[in-house]
Chains A and B, each alone.
Chain A
């Protein structure tokens, strides 16, 4: 079956760095997405990786290793507004998004 694993919850301190991991087993691979979802709001697109390596976008970076079925989202200089759930999703061979259950990130002052 298809499976996406990510930690349920993480806690970090304002100003620090946090890494959210995602491992996947899917039927085919057409890219990996990270989304951010604040409580009660719509998920919003953060990043997309299809080739191995690191993609950087401001304070957020996303890394992919296809051979290991592994990705991480790195958030630097954490701010209180970064408190949210972070969803990992893989596009499979049928171009469907397979989703993880999300990682709830709690930022403490």
Chain B
């Protein structure tokens, strides 16, 4: 595997379910990100991790819970979601957080539908 991978690619869940999204980066990067992408809206940054420490939490509802067990893996645990949470969830990584030239590399995303 190369780059950034995400599983599952598609997920349908009921509002009472609990599920997890998984992201893995094979680039040796130190920073990882979760984004939410809704149609015709800008990417919304949800969480940022640097060397497994959470450094940003942009007022995300507690029904989204991130976990970063090591610098290569990132999870997003989901529970009691709402229909408006249906979106594409993208994971990204970068060499570091503060380097100005460091671009972010994205995974293919998980298309989440909440019924």
Chain A residues in contact with chain B, CB under 8 A?
4, 8, 30-31, 33, 40-45, 48, 50, 87, 89, 91, 95-102
Contacts and interface: CB of A to CB of B under 8 A. Distances in A.
Contacts, number: 47
Interface of B: 4, 40-43, 45, 48, 56, 90, 97-101, 103-109
B40 A8 contact: yes
A101 B40 contact: yes
Given A42-B107, A42-B108, A42-B109, A30 B42 contact: no
Contacts of A31: 100-101
B42 A42 contact: no
Residue among A4, A48, A95 with most chain B CB within 10 A: A95
Contacts of A40: 108
A92 to B, nearest CB: 11
Contact of A42 (B56, B90, B100, B101): B90
B20 to A, nearest CB: 20
17 contacts: A8-B40, A40-B108, A41-B108, A42-B107, A42-B108, A42-B109, A43-B106, A48-B101, A50-B100, A50-B101, A91-B100, A95-B98, A96-B45, A96-B48, A96-B56, A101-B41, A102-B40
Contacts of A43: 43, 90, 106
A99 B101 CA distance: 16
Contacts of A50: 100-101
A89 B94 CA distance: 15
Nearest to B4: A42
A43 B92 CA distance: 10
B77 to A, nearest CB: 22
